[in-house]
Structure 1
Amino acid sequence: MNLTNIGYTYPGAAQPVLSGITLALAPGWCGIVGDNGCGKTTLARVVCGQLAPSEGTLTHGLVCAMCEQDANVAPARLAEFACDYAADAVRLRARLGVQDDWPWRFDELSGGQRKRLQVAVALWERPDLLVMDEPTNHVDAPTRRAIMGALAEFRGIGLLISHDRELLDGLCRRCLFMGPRGAVMRPGTWSEGAAQEERERAEASHARDVARTEAARIRREAERRRQRAEQSASRRSLRGVDPRDHDTREKIGRAVVTGKDGIAGRSRAVAAARLERAERAAEATFVERRYDGSVWMDVRPSARKVLFRAAEGELPLDGGAVSAAGASAGDESAGDVQEDGAASGEAGPVLRMPALTIGNTEHVALVGANGSGKTTLVRHVMERLDPDVPCCYVPQEPTEAERRGALARLGELLPDERGFVLGIVARLNSDPARLLEGGEPSPGELRKLMLALGMLDKPALIVMDEPTNHLDLHSTQALQELLAGFPGALLLVSHDAALLDAATSTRWEVERAGEGDAVLHVR
C-alpha cells in the first residue's frame, strides 16, 4: 500500500492537519505516534477510505477495518459477531474475556469491556489492513496483555495508534513519528525510534545554538566594520580641511584614486552578507517546541474540611437503589435510600463500601479491574456532592453534547479568561491555535480543554475518570505535574501506576467478591 504526498484540511480550518505524507506500508505492525492533534487518527481515516485526502494519492485495493478509539462507538458488525459461534469467534471471545451477552448490552458495559469487544470484532473481521486506535484505553493490566497477544497473531498490514509504550515495543518494528514538520518513519521499536528522535532534537538544538552564536559574532564584527567605514568616509571628506593644507588634500586624493581608503566600506558589505547568511541558518534550524512546565492555579482548598462523606453501606452495580448507609452526610431527604440496607426489587450485584470521606486537600486514587464498579462509584460521589462544592469533572468519554458545550464556552469567554484557559491547554502540551482555528479537537485535546475550563470555576474538587486515555506521552507527564500540585481535593480513576503514585496519597481499591459483587478497600 502506498501513500504519496497526502494532505488533508478539515472544512473551515485555516491550516491542514496533514501535509506531504508519503508512505509505503507492508505486512506487520507499524506504530503511529505523536502529540495530541498532530493528525494520527485523521491519517488512519484517510488510509481506510473514511476521508478523501485534500491532496495526494493513495493506492490499494485492500479490505480495511478500524477499531475506533472512542469506546462509546459500537462496531458496525457487532450483531454478526454476536451470532457467530465458529471456532475463530469462540477463540477470540475466550482470549479477550468477552462474554456472550456483551454484544446485546453494549451500552451497559464499562469502558474496558467495550474496548475488549471492539478489539474482538475488529480482529474477527480478518481485514487486509487493520487500524487499532488506542486499543488499550480503559483496560486493566491483564486485559492489556490479552490484547497484545491477540494483536500479535494478526498477519496483515497493521497500523497501531497508541501512547502505550509497552504495546508499541511489543508489536511494532517500525514507527511513524508525526510532528509539526511532517512525518518520519523510523525502523525499530518505539523506544529505539524515540531515542533516535531525541538525539536528532538534541543535534538540532546544538546546531541552532551554534548558528545563533555565529550570527552574534558576525553581528559584532559587522558593527566594528561599519564604524571603521564611517571613519574612512569622514577621512575622505575635504570638509573641514584648510584650503591651504595642500599636503593633507593630496593624501586624501591619492587614497581615493588608489582605492585604499574604500577597503573598510567593502569589508562592511562582505560582513553584512555573511550576517544575513548566518541569521538565515539560525532561523532555518527547527527545534520542536514542548509545552512542558507547571501550571499556576489561583485555587485554594475549600474551607470545608470534608467535601464528601458516606457511611458504610452497599452500592448497587446494576442501577438499583443505594442502601441506607450509602447516602452522603446531610442528604436526609434522599428518596432512593432503602431502610435496613434492602434494595427495592430483585437483588443484584453490589459494591460493599466502608465509611468514606474525601478531605479538602486529599488526593484519592480509585483502582480496580474493568467492570468492577469504579465508574458507578464516581457517579455516586458526583450525585452526592453538596451543591456548594465547586467540582471540575472530566468523564471517561465526553459525549458529543459535552464536546459542543466545551467549544461553545471557549468561544464565549472574555479575552483574559480565554488566555488563561489556552495557557493551561498549552502547558498540557497542545497547541492552543488549533482550538482557535475551529478545527476538530482530538479526544485528548478535548479532555485538556474541559479540565482548563473547569479551572475557571476555581474547583474545590477535581474528578477525572481515566485521564490519560488518548493523551500522548508528553501530555501525560504534564498532566501528572499539574494534578500532583493541585492544592484542592482530587479523585482520580486510572490504570496508570506512575500517575497515581505521583499525584495521589490515598487509595480506594475495588476487588471482586464473587457472584458479581465487589468490595471497596481504603488503603
Structure 2
Amino acid sequence: MFTLDSITMRLGGHVILERATVAVPPKARVGLVGRNGAGKSSLLKMIAGIYEPDEGRIGAPSGTRIGYLKQDAPGGSATPFETVLATAEERAALLDEADTATDPHRIAEIHERLNAIDAHTAPSRAARILAGLGFPEDAQHRPLDEFSGGWRMRVALGALLFSEPDLLLLDEPSNHLDLEAALWLESFLKAYPASLIVVSHERDMLNTVASHIVHVDNGKTTLYAGNYDQFERQRRERQAQDAAMRTKQEAKRKKLEAYVDRWRYKAHTARQAQSRLKALQRMAPAAEVFDDASLVFDFPSPKEVKPPLLMLEDVAVGYVPETPVLSSIDLRIDPDDRIALVGRNGNGKTTLARALAGQLRLMDGRIKASGKLSVGYFAQHQIEELVSEHTPLQHMERLLSDAKPGEVRRHLARFGFSGDKVSVRVSALSGGERARLSLALVTRDAPHILILDEPTNHLDVDAREALVQALAGFGGAVIVVSHDRHLLSLIADRLLLVDGGTAREFDGTLEDYRDSVLSAARSKKGNGQDGKQMPKAPVPKVDRKEKRKAAAEARERTKPLRKRVSQAEADMKSLTVKRDAIDTKLVEATSSEARDLMKQRGQLNREIDEAEAHWLEASEAIETAMVDVDA
C-alpha cells in the first residue's frame, strides 16, 4: 500500500498541500485530479522524490521501483528503439555476462534469470510500444535528433512504459499524443500489471484507466473508489450535502447571534450568553462551492448565411511547391456541421485546418466560400504569441479598434475577463486563462466557422466541460482537431479521416473509429507489423457529392425541428435546476413546508416529462429525415 501521511508542502512561500493524507490500495490505478494550480504535478514530483515534503511522510513497500516521466526529451544519435530497449538494464547486463561467463552453473543461472524477466521478447515488446505511440518500423531506427521535441517525448514515454516500474507516475501523458496514440495508451494503462498514478484532464482516459480517483483541492487530498464519472457523482452528492449543511449552519448561527445579542449584558444570563458566544466562534464554516471565472466560455453566434459555407473541389495543399501534403479533397461545410479531423499526427490535420482557415494557398482545385463568410482559427502557437506585457483589454482593443469600450469589455466578459481581470498582464495569467483569451480574440467577429486545433491542452476537466457546453450552443460550424475523445464524442457528428495524402469521410461514429484503431493495433501486435497503416475509410457506394447535397437540404428542412430540440433541451435544464433546488430545501424542511415543496416538485416533474416528450418527438423526426437521406 502507498500512503501519504499528513503531508505539508510549500513552494515559493505558498502552501501547496496542508496535512494531506491518503492511502492507496495495492496495484491501484489512480487518477490524480483537481483544478489547475491545485498542486497535482507538485505532489507527483514529491512522490517521485524530486521534491521533499516540509512535514509528514510518504510510505511505500520496501524496494518499490518508482518510474516518473521527466520533461527532458532524449536526444543524440541513438534510435528510439535503442533508447527504449536500453531501459532493460538487467537484461543488458545479463546478456553481456553470458557472452563472457565460463562457469556452467553461472551460465545456467543467467539463462534462468533471462527467462524469468522475459528477456527474449524484449525487442518485440519495445517495437510494439513504439508502434502504439505512432512510430512505424523505419522511424524506430532513425536517430533521435531527426525528431521534434514532441516525438522525442513519445520516446521517453515509451521507455518508461517498457521499464514497467512498480509505481508508474505519469503527468499529462497524452499531451504530446494524437487521438490514435492516446487510444493505444489508454488500452496499455488499463492492462498495466502494477500500480500507477496519472495526472490527466482527459475524462475518457480517467474513465477507462482509473480504479480510484484522488481529488486535490484546497491543499487536501480525498480518495474516491471508481473512475472519473463515479467520482463526479460522489462529488456532486457531497456538494449537495455541504450546501444543506451551510443552510442548517447559517440558521443555527443566526439563532445563536440573536441569543447573544439579547442576553450577553444581563447579569442573570451573561454566563449562558458567553457560552453561546464561544460556540459561535468555534463554528467552522462548511465548505462552499464558488463560481469560477475560469469556467466561462460564451461564443457569440454569427449572423445567418445560406449554406454551404465552404465547398472544396479537388483541392491540393502543401508547403513545398509541387509537393502537396494533401490532394484530391472534396468537402462541403454547412452552418450546423460539427466535424472532427482524425488521423495520426503528421498526416496533415493541421495543414487542412490552415487551408480551411485561409492561411494556405491552394496548389490545385478551388474553394467556394460565402461572400460574407468569417472564420475563426485557434491554434496552440497563438497562445505563445500573446504579448506578455499587455493586458487582455489591450489585446482586444488592438483588434477591435473601431468598437466602443463597452463592446470590447462585453466580449472579454464572455470568456471570464471582467472587472480588474481585464487589466492583468498576460505574463500573470495561467495557461488556461491564456487559452481563453486566445479564444476570445479569434471569435471577436462572431465567425461562421470555428476551427480549433487542440483547444484543450491548457484546460482542466471542469474547464473542458464548460468548453463543450459553449460549443454545443454555438450557432456556427465547428471543426476540431483534438486527442480528447470525450470532447469529440459530445461535439462531432462527422469524422474526416486525414490519411494517405488526402481527407475523406469516415463512415461511422467515433466509437467505430476507436474500435478500428484498437483492432488494427491488436492485429499488428499479433503479426509483428509496424503499426504504420491507419484504418481506411470505407469506399462510398453512392456519389458523395449528391449525398452531401441531399443531407444539406434535409438539414435545411429540419431547421424548425432543430430549434424545437434546442428549446426543449434548455427547458429540461432549467426545470431540472429548479427541481434540484427543491431537493436541497427538502433536507431541512418542516412537515408543512415539505408538503408544499413536494407539490412543486410534482409539477416540475410533469413539466420535465412534457419537455422531454417534445425533445424526443422532434429528435425522432430529425433522425427519420436524415435516415431517408442516408438510405
- TM norm structure 2: 0.56
**Residue pair 1:175, 1:189 contacting (<8 A) in 2 also:** yes
Offset, 1:212: 0.8
Secondary structure of 2:38 counterpart = coil
For residues 166 and 389 of structure 1, do their structure 2 counterparts lie closer, same or farther at Cα, with a shift above 3 Å needed? Answer: closer
1:340-383 CA distance string (max 9 Å, x none):
xxxx25xx663432154565xx5542332334432221122234
1:18-59 CA distance string (max 9 Å, x none):
444455666543221112332222322333345566766668
Secondary structure of 2:279 counterpart = helix
Secondary structure of 2:415 counterpart = helix
**C-alpha separation between the residues in 1 aligned to 2:486 and 2:177?**
16
Offset, 1:291: 3.2
For residues 48 and 369 of structure 1, do their structure 2 counterparts lie closer, same or farther at Cα, with a shift above 3 Å needed? Answer: same
Unaligned runs of 5+ in 1: 230-261, 322-343
For residues 441 and 48 of structure 1, do their structure 2 counterparts lie closer, same or farther at Cα, with a shift above 3 Å needed? Answer: farther
**Residue pair 1:9, 1:54 contacting (<8 A) in 2 also:** no
Secondary structure of 1:36 counterpart = coil
User: Which position in structure 2 is the counterpart of 1:207?
Assistant: 245
User: Which position in structure 1 is the counterpart of 2:384?
Assistant: 401
User: Which position in structure 2 is the counterpart of 1:233?
Assistant: none
**Residue pair 1:78, 1:121 contacting (<8 A) in 2 also:** no
User: Which position in structure 2 is the counterpart of 1:47?
Assistant: 47
**Root-mean-square deviation (CA), in Å?**
4.9
The size of the alignment, in residue pairs, is 442
User: Which position in structure 2 is the counterpart of 1:315?
Assistant: 316
Offset, 1:211: 0.5
User: Which position in structure 1 is the counterpart of 2:504?
Assistant: 519
**C-alpha separation between the residues in 2 aligned to 1:166 and 1:490?**
21
For residues 320 and 132 of structure 1, do their structure 2 counterparts lie closer, same or farther at Cα, with a shift above 3 Å needed? Answer: same
For residues 211 and 295 of structure 1, do their structure 2 counterparts lie closer, same or farther at Cα, with a shift above 3 Å needed? Answer: same
Equivalences for residues 34-73 of structure 1 within 5 A: 34-51=34-51, 64-67=66-69
Aligned with residue 492 of structure 1, among 472, 480, 486 = 480
Aligned with residue 326 of structure 2, among 350, 357, 362 = 350
**C-alpha separation between the residues in 2 aligned to 1:205 and 1:77?**
57
Unaligned runs of 5+ in 2: 86-122, 361-368, 398-404, 507-547, 552-631
Is 1:441 the counterpart of 2:441? The answer is no
**Residue pair 1:172, 1:188 contacting (<8 A) in 2 also:** yes
User: Which position in structure 2 is the counterpart of 1:284?
Assistant: 285
- Partner amino acid, structure 1, of 2:31: G
Equivalences for residues 60-99 of structure 1 within 5 A: 64-67=66-69, 74-75=73-74, 79-83=78-82, 86-96=123-133, 98-99=135-136
**C-alpha separation between the residues in 2 aligned to 1:293 and 1:47?**
29
Offset, 1:124: 2.4
For residues 77 and 271 of structure 1, do their structure 2 counterparts lie closer, same or farther at Cα, with a shift above 3 Å needed? Answer: farther
User: Which position in structure 2 is the counterpart of 1:471?
Assistant: 459
Secondary structure of 1:287 counterpart = coil
**Residue pair 2:388, 2:425 contacting (<8 A) in 1 also:** no
For residues 141 and 303 of structure 1, do their structure 2 counterparts lie closer, same or farther at Cα, with a shift above 3 Å needed? Answer: closer
For residues 164 and 503 of structure 1, do their structure 2 counterparts lie closer, same or farther at Cα, with a shift above 3 Å needed? Answer: closer
Secondary structure of 1:211 counterpart = helix
**C-alpha separation between the residues in 2 aligned to 1:491 and 1:518?**
14
User: Which position in structure 1 is the counterpart of 2:596?
Assistant: none
**Residue pair 1:77, 1:121 contacting (<8 A) in 2 also:** no
- Partner amino acid, structure 2, of 1:519: R
For residues 213 and 454 of structure 1, do their structure 2 counterparts lie closer, same or farther at Cα, with a shift above 3 Å needed? Answer: farther
Secondary structure of 1:312 counterpart = strand
Equivalences for residues 235-384 of structure 1 within 5 A: 266-267=268-269, 270-271=272-273, 274=276, 277-278=279-280, 281=283, 284-291=285-292, 299=300, 301=302, 309=310, 311-316=312-317, 319-321=319-321, 344=322, 350-357=326-333, 362=336, 364-371=338-345, 372-384=347-359
**C-alpha separation between the residues in 2 aligned to 1:105 and 1:487?**
47
Secondary structure of 2:221 counterpart = strand
Larger radius of gyration: 1
What's the % identity of the aligned pairs?
24
1:140-194 CA distance string (max 9 Å, x none):
7764443233224544542211234443344433332111242123344444444
User: Which position in structure 2 is the counterpart of 1:252?
Assistant: none
**Residue pair 2:20, 2:219 contacting (<8 A) in 1 also:** no
Offset, 1:498: 5.8
**Residue pair 2:77, 2:145 contacting (<8 A) in 1 also:** no
**Residue pair 2:153, 2:176 contacting (<8 A) in 1 also:** yes
Aligned with residue 509 of structure 1, among 496, 509, 516 = 496
User: Which position in structure 1 is the counterpart of 2:172?
Assistant: 134
Offset, 1:99: 1.0
User: Which position in structure 1 is the counterpart of 2:211?
Assistant: 173
**Residue pair 2:496, 2:505 contacting (<8 A) in 1 also:** yes
For residues 349 and 358 of structure 1, do their structure 2 counterparts lie closer, same or farther at Cα, with a shift above 3 Å needed? Answer: same
**Residue pair 2:202, 2:484 contacting (<8 A) in 1 also:** no
Would you tell me which structure has more helix in proportion to its own residues?
A: 2
Offset, 1:210: 0.4
**C-alpha separation between the residues in 2 aligned to 1:375 and 1:499?**
18
Equivalences for residues 103-114 of structure 1 within 5 A: 104=142
- Partner amino acid, structure 1, of 2:240: A
Secondary structure of 2:470 counterpart = helix
